[in-house]
Each structure stands twice: as C-alpha cells, then as structure tokens.
Amino acid sequence: MKRRTFVKGMSFTAVAVSTTGFVRFNGQHFEGDCETTTDILGPFYRPDAPVRSDLINGSLMGDEVSLHGVIYHDDCKTPLENAKIELWHCDADEVYDNESDEYNYRGTVYASSDGLYKFRTQMPVPYDAGGGNYRPAHFHIMISAPGYQSLVTQLYFSGDPWLDKDPSSKDPNAKSRIFEISKNDNGVIEVPFNVIMQKEFPLESAVLERLAGKYKETERDRTHEFFVHENKLWLKNDLYGINLEYKGDNTFVPSGSSWGSTSIYFMSDDNGRSGLTYKSGDEERKAVKIS
C-alpha cells in the first residue's frame, strides 16, 4: 500500500547519532564529540520485526546496501552489548510492508559484545507523502537499550532531489545523516553508521514545530494551544505559557513540580490525524489537532 494506513504513534522521537569518522581511536580507546541530533519516527514503525540481518528480497529491485556500525554507551568510547537495532524502509515501488507475515524490509539485530551490528538490504526510493510532497529515499532505524531513551533516526543519501524540500532532511541537524552513495569492489553500497546512546535528548526545532498548534478536546468544547519558544514547547495560558519538558516516549511534562503527575502524550490516530492525551492523576482527556 502506497498510502499511509499503518499509524500507531506520533511521528517524533529523539536520537543520538554519529556518522563515519565521528568516533576516532586515540591509541587506547575510541572517542568522539557525542554529537546528538533528532528526527521523526514516521507513521510506519511496525513492532516485532523478525530477528535477521539479511533483508534482501530477490524478487524486488534495488541496489544492495551494507548498513553497519558500532553502538556506544554515552561515554562515547565503550561499546554497548546487546543493544536492539531495528531497521525498516520502503521498497522500489514506494511501498512499506505494513501487513504481510514476511515483514519485507523490516528486521531486528542485537549488537555484539563489541557493539557491532550489520544489515544487508536494498536501496529504498523517494515516495509521494501526499499533496505532491515527496520524501527523499531513507532508512528508518530504532535503537533500544536498558537505561537509555529509545532512539530513532533516518538516514538519507546525497544527490536526492528531495533533500532540500523535505522538512526533516533539510534541517541543518540532518547533515551528519546524509551519506554519499559509495560502492565497494563488490558493487555494494557501504553505509557505516555509529550511534552514541544518551539518557535524554532535546528535540530539534523541526519536530517541535510539527507539534505546535491548536488541539480541541473530543468530549468537551475546550481548546489548547501549543507553541515553540527558544526551542522549547509551551502550552499557552492567559499570561504567556507553561514550559514543557520532553521525557521521551512521545511524552511532555510541565517544568517544575507544581503540576504533580500531569503529562501530555502526543500520537496519531489510524487516519493520520495528530492528537494528544492529557493525564493528571486519575483524569485522562483526549484532544485532536485542528490547526
């Protein structure tokens, strides 16, 4: 299916990333500057992809790709064993496999004792995201490990005509995730991608702008407005607004402790409409984005 029908969560999360050459060996251990960026999750994450590193499908088109790297702890030098790495992408017909038992172009691997991981797959293509807006070709990756926020990113490729038009890929923070298409002696495209895990991350401006707007509660005539100020998400009030802190897992909480257990969870419904769930103690209210 080319249209987007598999929507289970709001299209954002945080990620720490590193590209080839980012982590260096100083003679004793690996080191890096721990650059951290973010990107959207997208609507096509499908849980429980099979554990496998080879995603090649001989019946489908696409150059072979070797995606590989090392997962590190947040000290930037210690390999992280047994981190869970999930990869998914569309095929040459712009299709994500959202339903079949084959889980085409979806797979899961676990990092070795040296933090190493590797996938063998095929190149995706740009696709129509609706309204004539095309997303550049990209891989989705999610990395999970105990003690760290689950991390998600997208990898792009230089020369794609849609890179400068897509809100995610044109963001300056995405530069470290745009790869040259370089083939080895066997004709395989090499994509070396290392990841530095972190315990919490700020969200970049492009993600926050997608959350900003007005949301109307579904069970009563009440509207809430969110806006971005100094790269933070705020909930508007009569005075100015309440600063919200990102806590991972699509969840924000008001800064400080005056609101107790209040949290705001953003998501999308099965029709792709953005919404949120407001929780405070035993109270739970839902709202849908209207502008």
Q: Is the dihedral of CA 72, 84, 233, 165 positive or negative?
A: positive
Name the helix (H) or strand (E) containing 205.
helix 205-211
HSE, CB side, 13 Å, CA atoms: give it for residue 130: 4
Active-site hit among 73, 89, 140, 177: 140
Euclidean distance between CA atoms 272 and 8, whole angstroms:
9
Active-site hit among 103, 117, 127, 215: 127
Name the helix (H) or strand (E) containing 210.
helix 205-211
Whether 96 sits among the annotated catalytic residues: the reply is yes
Name the residue among 40, 35, 14 with its Cα closest to residue 156: 40
CA 118 to chain centroid: 19
Q: Are 109 and 195 in contact (CB under 8 A)?
A: no
Euclidean distance between CA atoms 109 and 89, whole angstroms:
15
Euclidean distance between CA atoms 106 and 51, whole angstroms:
9
Active-site hit among 72, 73, 89, 96: 96
Active-site hit among 73, 135, 177, 224: 135
Active-site hit among 138, 177, 210, 224: 138
Euclidean distance between CA atoms 198 and 181, whole angstroms:
28
Q: Are 181 and 159 in contact (CB under 8 A)?
A: yes
* Beta carbons within 8 Å of 283's beta carbon, 6+ residues apart: none
CB atoms near residue 210 (< 10 Å): 19
Q: Are 152 and 56 in contact (CB under 8 A)?
A: no
Whether 138 sits among the annotated catalytic residues: the reply is yes
Whether 140 sits among the annotated catalytic residues: the reply is yes
Longest dimension (CA), the chain: 64
Q: Which amino acid is at 174?
A: A
Q: Which residues are catalytic?
A: 96, 127, 135, 138, 140
